[in-house]
Amino acid sequence: MTAIAHFIATTCYLGAAALAAAPFARPIRAPLRGVLAVLGIGIIAHAAGLIELARTLGQAPVTGLGPALSCAAIVLAAMLFVVELIAREVSLTLVAAPLAALLTVAANMAGLVAEANPPGGRGAWFIAHIALSMAGLAAMATAAAAGTMYLVQRRELRSRRFGPLFRLFPPLQTLDRVNHLAVIAGWIGLTLGILMGLAYSVSFHQSDMPQVIWALGAWAGVTALALGRVVRGWEARRAAVAANTAFAGVILLWIAVRVFASQPGKFL
């Protein structure tokens, strides 16, 4: 059941991206309702798979590499759905939906096996820390996707090539606005998640240094983005490049932590 649900979710995420790319094949507008419907079906199937996994494991599937990647995928897909629904645009689906599909496939390949969660109130605190951190990372991924599209659209305008990409992508102002809001949301989510994680570590005398290093590195990256946008008033192109660089840095740091971590299988 869980594997089938993840397969359906992966198919729907890729299907949503394919529908969003319809203007590349012919000069028509991407079907907003169709993209959101397929994406929504994928999220529902994914959620059903995680619920079944939680029932099988007897705990929330948030620890262990496979479950953590799966949860990150559904959070990213859900955030994408909300953003596209509000913006009435499906352009971000071209980037974010395949990323959600990739994370879902990686979760299956890593194995949907979780470690024991802390009991009682400790467990609730721990799960809240993970949920907030994942939401922050999903927002950061959204900012990077918007930044990538901004740079591509800007290049199209400067080269005066008004092809399918120009027709498909939203205006530069919209992409910059999505990037701005996603950076702020990412900072809030990661800050709250890390604060809860640090408080948990201090209260219950539990810590994992590689994870602490990665968390602080991710927080430093999104904090630099937020300060640049809000305090320094970065122009849109600089903010787009910085969002992509910061997100790539977070991924590379995560890979390094996974390679050198002494206790593999923990959350992320």
Q: What is the mean pLDDT of residues 167-186?
A: 83
> Which tens digits make up the pLDDT trace of 201-224?
766 666 667 777 778 888 888 899
Same domain, 196 and 225: yes
Closest C-alpha among 177, 175, 180 to residue 226: 180
Query: Which range among 67-81, 132-146, 166-180 shows the weakest confidence by mean pLDDT?
Result: 166-180
Same domain, 128 and 251: yes
Same domain, 49 and 78: yes
Provide the residue range defining the domain that includes 26.
1-117
User: What does the block give as tokens for 15?
Assistant: 């299907």
Our count of domains for the chain comes to: 2
Same domain, 38 and 89: yes
Same domain, 112 and 129: no
Same domain, 89 and 169: no
How many of the other CB atoms lie within 10 Å of CB of 29? 10
Q: Answer yes or no: is pLDDT of 117 > 60.
A: no
How many of the other CB atoms lie within 10 Å of CB of 233? 9
Same domain, 197 and 77: no
Name residues whose C-beta falls within 8 Å of residue 141's C-beta, 6 or more positions apart in sequence: 76, 96, 99, 247
Closest C-alpha among 96, 98, 93 to residue 10: 98
Same domain, 3 and 23: yes
Same domain, 152 and 222: yes
Same domain, 44 and 125: no
Number of Cα atoms under 13 Å in the Cβ half of residue 187: 17
Average per-residue pLDDT for the chain:
81
Of residues 133 and 14, the one with the higher pLDDT is 14
Same domain, 96 and 204: no
What pTM did the predictor assign? 0.69
Query: Which range among 111-120, 194-203, 236-245 shows the weakest confidence by mean pLDDT?
Result: 111-120
Q: Answer yes or no: is pLDDT of 267 > 60.
A: no
Closest C-alpha among 242, 255, 268 to residue 182: 242
Confidence class of residue 265 from pLDDT cuts 50, 70 and 90?
Answer: very low
Tell me the range of 38-42, 92-96, 215-219 where mean pLDDT is highest.
Answer: 38-42
Look at residues 63, 97, 117 and tell me which one is the last residue of a structural domain.
117
Write a three-state SS string for the chain.
Answer: CHHHHHHHHHHHHHHHHHHHCHHHHCCCCCCHHHHHHHHHHHHHHHHHHHHHHHHHHCCCCCCCHHHHHHHHHHHHHHHHHHHHHHHCCCCCHHHHHHHHHHHHHHHHHHCCCCCCCCCHHHHHHHHHHHHHHHHHHHHHHHHHHHHHHHHHHHHHHHHCCCCHHHHHCCCHHHHHHHHHHHHHHHHHHHHHHHHHHHHHHHHHCCCCHHHHHHHHHHHHHHHHHHHHHHCCCCCHHHHHHHHHHHHHHHHHHHHHHHHHCCCCCCCC
